[in-house]
Structure 1
Amino acid sequence: MSDPEKSGAQEDRKTRLTVLVALAANLVIAVAKAIGGVIAGSPALLSEAAHSVADSLNEVFLLAALHRSRRPADRRHPFGYGKERFFWSLLAAVGIFVMGGCFSFFQGFEALTGPNTQESHSGYTAGLVVLGVALLAEGASLVRAVHQVRAQPGKGLGSDPALRTVLAEDSTAVLGVLLAAGGMVLHMVTGNVVWEGSASLAIGALLVYVAFGLGKSAREQLIGEAVDPELREGILDLLQSQPEIDYVAALHTMQLGMDSTLVAARVDLTPGIDSERLELVSERIKESIQKRWPEADQVFLDVVDIPQRVRE
């Protein structure tokens, strides 16, 4: 196993633990919220229960992504299965939208258009206790996710779609709990269900916004997103600095997975390089790129004769 693969496997183990922590927290919280929401008759609490169920299912998707994206390349998938990571992350975004956002909107509209009734304060007190416990659990999961992100210098928040999804879920879960609690408290104080209905709508809008952002990012990576512009410029500078390369006509990159990148360049070599030396030069340039950027594991050089008029 190469160094990038070993490093990637170690990061996956950390991310898997982060996902498992979030899954355990969401499963327990979903049950508690559902029971509390039924007892209290609270639309905001039921919206949060749907939110936690959606997050739990999404964590299962992310565990599948971590497992399947590490499968080795084969004949049908010569570049490996790295993009499985992006596919399952896209499904997680869809799950947040459908199960969380849509149900929250439904609960909100039902509360606003239905009779203005309020359950006993004891039921709402139990619901607020459930939300307090949920806030502690979601907060602990969020702290772990943030800690892992900060432990990855230079990679940034958007590097790992699985970790990014967990971080987004935990962040929205904390905000959702605060919105639900605020709506319930105002409902108790004023006796007006509009506060809870509004809280449910706000939770739905928050989930839809997060789902859109995660889905857009996963879509871009699935259809073939180029590497960071700074990395591309670095590869271009290295190619142009090679004494055997006279001109770089084109440079294309694509992220194939968490630690796999495709680099394809069309270059014109200096005159006088015979076919035997050409192969040695090409291999040396490829090794130079891979040594400096280990994630660039798929490097292809297309040697062509570029007319002078094209260069100008």
Structure 2
Amino acid sequence: MSAQGGTRAIVAALAANLAIAVAKFVAFLFSGSSSMLAESVHSVADSGNQGLLLLGGKKAKRAASEEHPFGYGRERYIYSFLVAIVLFSVGGLFALYEGYEKITHPHSLEHWYWPVGVLVFAIVAESFSFRTAIKESNPLRGSQSWVQFVRRAKAPELPVVLLEDLGALVGLVLALGGVGLALLTGDGVWDGIGTLCIGVLLIAIAIVLALETKSLLLGESADAESVRRIREAAVDGDTVTRVIHMRTLHLGPEELLVAAKIAVRHDDTAGRVAGAIDAAEQRIREAVPIARVIYLEPDVYDAARAAAGPDRAKTPGGADAAH
């Protein structure tokens, strides 16, 4: 669901940004507005970003190979990180440079109706793209706030498009404000100030995207609800009596690795333990369908060692490590 919803949001954003970029460039040529030039480059960068997200989604679908036995799911994270870099360098830094140039060498705007008309059109188009991203995100967001959704989402495309569209809308308002103040006062410096504000906004969004995508690239565990369901599914109360400790890792947005040490009875036969492990894997996959790579290690639970506490030097987080 998240992949399909993300693709729809990306395509909607790409179509909107391509149309807006052309309109902004035309408005810049007629008016000479630095805000319009910065917004034009911003729209071109956003279009390139959507292309990167689509490319990452396509590459992530490749089958696992001997060299990459866990597949290519993280390609989506890599390309999302590239989006943050492009947004920072092409969009943000260019806007800062252009704003500085306009403030130090101001000139009046010509044919003011071009930038104003294009900005109004762009706000309408970006609003459509933003609405699509919100609509596709809501089923995945559930009861989370938007901040929580952006921070916790394992599929990067929707948060990236959401932040890009939000930044684009705010940037358009800033550009409209800069152009409007330049027209009202007759001072082109306001156009440059609006451009600087756009640059700061884009850099801030790029930093947020980079930090969140970096966390995904490093490897994030499953969410708390999925971890709870996996633990409950692993135990059958007969052969498998408890989960001694467990680690989960996202190999991609829709692929989860589960590694756990499970407690079995000391007098069970090897055949019975093997059958219990197979059954536990089946229950885990039914409880959490994205748990596709599962490694379960049987062990005998030792109450004395459990009472002594986990070995934190060997176990990240230290939780449930004793056996």
TM-score, normalised to structure 2, is: 0.87
Structure 1 residue 57, shift from structure 2 partner: 0.5
In structure 2, C-alpha distance between the alignment counterparts of 1:240 and 1:263, rounded to whole Å:
14
Asked if the contact 1:65/1:162 (under 8 Å) is kept, the reply is no
Mean Cα deviation higher: 142-151 or 56-65: 142-151
Mean Cα deviation higher: 207-216 or 178-187: 207-216
Per-residue Cα deviation, 1:193-246 (whole angstroms, up to 9, x for no partner): 332222112111111111111111211111111111232133234445633234
1:167 counterpart = 2:162: yes
Q: Helix, strand or coil for the counterpart of 1:165? A: helix
**2:107 corresponds to which letter in structure 1?**
T
Asked if the contact 1:183/1:195 (under 8 Å) is kept, the reply is yes
Q: 1:199 to 1:242 in 2, by over 3 A?
A: farther
- 2:218 matched to which residue of 1? 223
In structure 2, C-alpha distance between the alignment counterparts of 1:242 and 1:179, rounded to whole Å:
61
Per-residue Cα deviation, 1:171-204 (whole angstroms, up to 9, x for no partner): 1111111110011000111122332222112111
In structure 1, C-alpha distance between the alignment counterparts of 2:299 and 2:124, rounded to whole Å:
61
Asked if the contact 2:24/2:40 (under 8 Å) is kept, the reply is yes
In structure 2, C-alpha distance between the alignment counterparts of 1:281 and 1:270, rounded to whole Å:
11
Per-residue Cα deviation, 1:42-65 (whole angstroms, up to 9, x for no partner): 111111111101101001101102
- 2:125 matched to which residue of 1? 137
Number of aligned positions between the proteins: 300
1:259 counterpart = 2:254: yes
In structure 1, C-alpha distance between the alignment counterparts of 2:222 and 2:64, rounded to whole Å:
21
In structure 2, C-alpha distance between the alignment counterparts of 1:144 and 1:23, rounded to whole Å:
12
- 1:4 matched to which residue of 2? none
Structure 1 residue 153, shift from structure 2 partner: 5.9
Unmatched 5+ residue regions in structure 1?
1-7
Q: 1:283 to 1:184 in 2, by over 3 A?
A: same
**1:149 corresponds to which letter in structure 2?**
S
1:1-312 superposed matches below 5 A: 8=1, 11-114=2-105, 116-120=106-110, 123-152=111-140, 154=142, 156=149, 158-239=153-234, 242-305=237-300, 307-312=302-307
Q: Helix, strand or coil for the counterpart of 2:50? A: helix
Q: 1:119 to 1:58 in 2, by over 3 A?
A: same
Following superposition, which runs of at least 4 residues in structure 1 exceed 6 angstroms of deviation?
A: none
In structure 1, C-alpha distance between the alignment counterparts of 2:181 and 2:19, rounded to whole Å:
26
Q: RMSD in angstroms over aligned alpha carbons? A: 1.9
Mean Cα deviation higher: 157-166 or 284-293: 157-166
Structure 1 residue 86, shift from structure 2 partner: 0.7
Per-residue Cα deviation, 1:245-269 (whole angstroms, up to 9, x for no partner): 3453321001112221111002232
Asked if the contact 1:18/1:144 (under 8 Å) is kept, the reply is yes
Q: 1:245 to 1:311 in 2, by over 3 A?
A: farther
> What percent of counterpart residues are identical?
32
Unmatched 5+ residue regions in structure 2?
308-323
**1:301 corresponds to which letter in structure 2?**
L
**2:134 corresponds to which letter in structure 1?**
V
Structure 1 residue 307, shift from structure 2 partner: 4.2
Per-residue Cα deviation, 1:113-136 (whole angstroms, up to 9, x for no partner): 22x32133xx22211111111111
Asked if the contact 2:84/2:207 (under 8 Å) is kept, the reply is yes
Q: Helix, strand or coil for the counterpart of 1:297? A: strand
Per-residue Cα deviation, 1:81-100 (whole angstroms, up to 9, x for no partner): 11111111111111111111
Q: Helix, strand or coil for the counterpart of 1:80? A: coil
Per-residue Cα deviation, 1:19-72 (whole angstroms, up to 9, x for no partner): 222112211211221221232121111111111011010011011022111222
In structure 1, C-alpha distance between the alignment counterparts of 2:109 and 2:24, rounded to whole Å:
16
**1:66 corresponds to which letter in structure 2?**
G
**2:169 corresponds to which letter in structure 1?**
V
In structure 1, C-alpha distance between the alignment counterparts of 2:34 and 2:141, rounded to whole Å:
42
**1:252 corresponds to which letter in structure 2?**
R
In structure 2, C-alpha distance between the alignment counterparts of 1:216 and 1:62, rounded to whole Å:
17
Asked if the contact 2:234/2:240 (under 8 Å) is kept, the reply is yes
